[in-house]
Homo-oligomer: A and B are copies of this chain.
Amino acid sequence: MARERLTVPSRGTLFYAQSGGVTAVINATASAVITAARARKLRVLAGRNGILGALREELIDTSHESAATIRALAHTPGGAFGSCRVKLKSLEDDRPKYERMLEVFRAHDVRWFLYNGGNDSADTALKVSRLAAEFGYPLTCIGVPKTVDNDLAVTDTCPGFGSAAKYTAVSVREAALDVIAMADTSTKVFVYEAMGRHAGWLAAAAGLAGRELDEAPHIILFPEREFDQAAFLAQVDATVARVGHCVVVASEGIRTADGRFVADAGGGKDAFGHTQLGGVAAWLAGRVKDALGHKVHWTLPDYLQRSARHLASATDLKQAQAVGKAAVEYALKGMNGTMPVIVRTSDAPYRWTVRPAPLEEIANHEKTMPDGFIREDGFGITDAARRYLEPLIRGEAPPPYGRDGLPKYVRLANRLVPQRLPPAGF
């Protein structure tokens, strides 16, 4: 790939940062942001490790990256500039941090701040915009949606979710074929642990793997429903008796009636004081083994489910790019304190568009699965859920592969611009 240096006569500087857990398509959003900004002769600085880049004045000069590299970013998973798990507190409690950010922005002539993340990031973008207004510093703050958890308010769906959902549905369908083949003499119960601490969207997406009652997944456990061990085991038992095997998909966030995370029951310390790491799937598998005696296997895909760019949803990819492009447009129009959100205009045929929404309506809210999406017995999804979910995993968008059989993911140079301020110790 040519590494020509792009010389852009800057009309001002846009700061872009990635936040929270990364996804298969957050870099596609970054790619769209940089492409749109370059077309408008804007300079893009990216935060090294998210908002920490602003606090530490570690600003990546994206103009060092060739057009080919920025295009390749659209098919590269992970967070190309580094992300972070940092939740800033209120303007009062964390005032020095917010002020430092503005200082850094001012020092580098940053006029537009795009923060690509979930509801915490929307909150941060909103607070920065308020402080900038208080200080009379002209800054337009835009939130850009991203999360595999699909739990942002207002937007119909969150970029990153569709690809993780496709990974989940495909993986469960494939593993189920394995279990069906082995069940007669070996594994009868298989448990798949899906991400989703507070909302069961990804677990729900597994429901797309089968259509009939006796097709896998036979049981889905949602954080939106109390986990009842006896009812669960009875359902597993009945399914094995009827179908010969049972595929369970459990959200990592399921809780018992007393509000405790089931995942915590699986961990803790052993008799020697050593940490035992477990999780929901391992724990459920243990209960099935003890109570029913079936041979059981389980999987914890963990990061694989959110970084599987090789199995991205084409719909999700397009939406990730669309919100990136829209974010730059909103920024230049001075639509401070907004986020481009996905609006669904039709289920069949699936149609969507992007519109601006106020960050106030998104920050710190959490969208769980509506009641109408969960089957009455609590163990599966409804037709309404299918109508919502199915378009989101539609279409394939594989990355290019090299002669070595591996996807050609790109790595950026990530060169920092010289610092202009004394270090602030963040």
As a 0/1 sequence over residues 275 to 299 of chain A, the CB contacts with chain B under 8 angstroms (1 = contact) are 1111100110111011000001111
Q: Do A298 and B301 touch across chains, with their CB atoms under 8 A apart?
A: no
As a 0/1 sequence over residues 249 to 289 of chain A, the CB contacts with chain B under 8 angstroms (1 = contact) are 00000000000000000100011001111110011011101
Interchain CB contact (< 8 A) of A282 among B175, B278, B308, B404: B278
Interchain CB contact (< 8 A) of A174 among B299, B307, B396, B401: B307
A154 to chain B, nearest CB (A): 25
Q: In the complex, A407→B170 CA distance in Å?
A: 7
Knowing A83-B182, A297-B303, the reply to whether A311 touches B313 (Cβ < 8 A) is: no
Question: Nearest B residue to A21 by beta-carbon distance?
Answer: B182
Q: Do A289 and B275 touch across chains, with their CB atoms under 8 A apart?
A: yes
Q: Does A196 contact B (CB under 8 A)?
A: no
Contacts of A208 in B (CB 8 A): 404-406
- A22, A209, A310, most chain B CB atoms within 10 A: A310
Q: Within the oligomer, what is the number of copies of this chain?
A: 2
Contacts of A407 in B (CB 8 A): 170, 173-174
Contacts of A279 in B (CB 8 A): 282
Question: Nearest B residue to A78 by beta-carbon distance?
Answer: B177
Q: In the complex, A18→B22 CA distance in Å?
A: 40
Stretch of A38-46, A102-110, A183-191, A321-329 at the chain-chain interface: A183-191
Interchain CB contact (< 8 A) of A405 among B78, B169, B177, B398: B169
Q: In the complex, A137→B417 CA distance in Å?
A: 81
A295-349 contacts to B, CB under 8 A, are 296-304, 306-311, 313, 315
Stretch of A127-135, A373-381, A387-395 at the chain-chain interface: A387-395
A261 to chain B, nearest CB (A): 17
Q: In the complex, A396→B289 CA distance in Å?
A: 38
Contacts of A298 in B (CB 8 A): 277, 300, 302
A99 to chain B, nearest CB (A): 21
Interchain CB contact (< 8 A) of A310 among B174, B187, B302, B395: B174
Q: In the complex, A180→B21 CA distance in Å?
A: 11
Contacts of A86 in B (CB 8 A): 185
Question: Nearest B residue to A285 by beta-carbon distance?
Answer: B277
Q: Do A278 and B275 touch across chains, with their CB atoms under 8 A apart?
A: no
Q: In the complex, A274→B296 CA distance in Å?
A: 15
- A24, A282, A309, most chain B CB atoms within 10 A: A282
As a 0/1 sequence over residues 133 to 158 of chain A, the CB contacts with chain B under 8 angstroms (1 = contact) are 00000000000000000000000000
Interchain CB contact (< 8 A) of A184 among B84, B175, B176: B84
Contacts of A307 in B (CB 8 A): 174-175, 177-178
Contacts of A356 in B (CB 8 A): none
A41 to chain B, nearest CB (A): 29
A35 to chain B, nearest CB (A): 20
Q: In the complex, A160→B309 CA distance in Å?
A: 23
Interchain CB contact (< 8 A) of A300 among B50, B182, B300: B300
A79-130 contacts to B, CB under 8 A, are 79-80, 82-86
Q: Does A351 contact B (CB under 8 A)?
A: no
Q: In the complex, A80→B178 CA distance in Å?
A: 9
Q: Does A52 contact B (CB under 8 A)?
A: yes
Q: Does A219 contact B (CB under 8 A)?
A: no
A7-28 contacts to B, CB under 8 A, are 18, 21-22, 24
11 A–B contacts, CB within 8 A, in A order: A21-B182, A49-B184, A52-B184, A79-B182, A82-B184, A85-B185, A169-B405, A173-B409, A178-B306, A179-B303, A278-B278
- The chain A residues found within 8 Å of chain B, CB to CB, are 18, 21-22, 24, 49-50, 52, 76-80, 82-86, 166, 169-171, 173-182, 184-187, 190, 208-209, 266, 270-271, 274-279, 282-283, 285-287, 289-290, 296-304, 306-311, 313, 315, 390, 393-396, 398, 401, 403-407, 409
